[in-house]
Amino acid sequence: MSNPSFLHIHGTIISTYTRIVQTVAEEAGLSWKITATPANSEENQRRHPFHKVPTVEVDGLQLFESVAICQYIDNAHNGGVLQPADHQCRAEMDRWISIANNYLFPVAEHGLLMPHLAHNVLKTPLRSDIIEAALPEIARHLGIICDRIEETPFFAGPKFSLADIFVYCILRPIQLTSEGEHLITPLLPLRHWLNKIGQRDSIIATRWPIEQD
Ligand SMILES: N[C@@H](CCC(=O)N[C@@H](CS)C(=O)NCC(=O)O)C(=O)O
């Protein structure tokens, strides 16, 4: 039986979606630990029918899919403060989480981050051809996301929400590549928002080793 005030995360340590869940736990003041569990391991295949990470145990529940996990943590342990009560802001929050998950993450993951990871970890030649092919689409997504954050302080509207956590944790690894940094540098509103969100305690507490000063 899980400790009711403890979150056990199973996932890879350097993972966008693991960081999203860690960040929401930090915002909620919920203690957490990670057990390193590769996505394609037998253990994870039992935990997640689509073989993705993270999965979690909390309050005696086994949960997977980050949106469901984050909403559960925020509702059960944080008074729902990361989800706007106002219907229009709530729709904006859901919209920007969907955009980040369904459009930005897949192209950035396959077209930019995985080629860099393979190069850095497996020491294979950098697949610049894959990166070059993906950059126009990534640039288009960044432009759309920048337009939104030019018109409002946070993605859902006036208040910080789950949408800011999803968008930040998906954008930040892009910004950590030279190509992503090059695309983001001229997008001033987006850069300012990244700096602002990057100063939150929950984001600082979940920094990856490559982000440490
Ligand atoms: N829809 C899933 C996506 C999770 C996801 O894509 N996780 C990545 C790591 S950041 C993963 O499991 N990648 C391994 C793979 O796709 O094989 C969620 O929201 O939790």
Q: What is the pLDDT of residues 53-103, one digit of tens each?
A: 999 999 999 999 999 999 999 999 999 999 999 999 999 999 999 999 999
Band of the pLDDT at 17, cuts 50, 70, 90?
A: very high
Residue range 87-207 in CATH 1.20.1050.10? yes
The fraction of the chain above a pLDDT of 70, given in percent, is 98
Mean pLDDT value of segment 175-194: 98
CA angle 106, 110, 113 (to 5 degrees): 105
Express each pLDDT in 121-140 by its tens digit: 899 999 999 999 999 999 99
Kindly state if the Cβ of 15 falls inside 6 Å of ligand 1: yes
User: Token pair 């090059």 is at which residue?
Assistant: 182
pLDDT category at 5 given cuts 50, 70, 90 is confident
- Please provide the CATH number assigned to the domain covering 6-77: 3.40.30.10
Question: Distance between CA atoms of 155 and 165, rounded to whole angstroms?
Answer: 10
pLDDT confidence bin for 2, thresholds 50/70/90: very low
Distance of CA 53 from the midpoint of ligand 1 (Å): 5
Q: Is the peptide bond before 84 cis (omega within 30 degrees of 0)?
A: no
Asked if pLDDT for residue 4 goes beyond 90, the answer is no
Beta 55-58 vs 31-36: how paired, if at all? unpaired
Is the C-beta atom of 16 inside 6 A of ligand 1? yes
Q: What are the boundaries of each domain within the chain?
A: 6-77, 87-207
H or E element in which residue 2 lies: none
Calculate mean pLDDT across residues 151-173.
98
Q: How far is CA 57 from CA 6, 11, 15, 26, 64, in A?
A: 8, 12, 18, 16, 9
Give the pLDDT of residue 13: 85
**Locate tokens 């295949």: which residue?**
45
Which pLDDT value is given to residue 138?
Answer: 98
pLDDT at 176 over 70: yes
Residue 95 in contact with ligand 1 by CB distance below 6 A: no
State whether the beta carbon of 160 lies less than 6 angstroms from ligand 1: no
Q: How far is the CA of 50 from the centre of ligand 1 (A)?
A: 9
Q: For ligand 1, is residue 70 a contact (CB within 6 Å)?
A: no
Whether the pLDDT of residue 212 is over 80: the answer is: no
- Residue 184, judged by CB atoms within 10 A of its CB (0-12, 13-18, 19+), counts as buried
| Centre of ligand 1 from the C-alpha of residue 156, in Å | 24
pLDDT tier, 1 (very low <50, low <70, confident <90, very high otherwise) = very low
98 Cα to the center of ligand 1, angstroms: 14
State pLDDT tens for residues 140-155: 999 999 999 999 999 9
CA of 54 to the centre of ligand 1 (A): 7
For residue 64, the CA-to-ligand 1 centroid distance in Å is 10
Work out which ligand 1 atom sits closest to the CA atom of 17: 10
Residue 159 confidence class, pLDDT cut points 50, 70, 90: very high
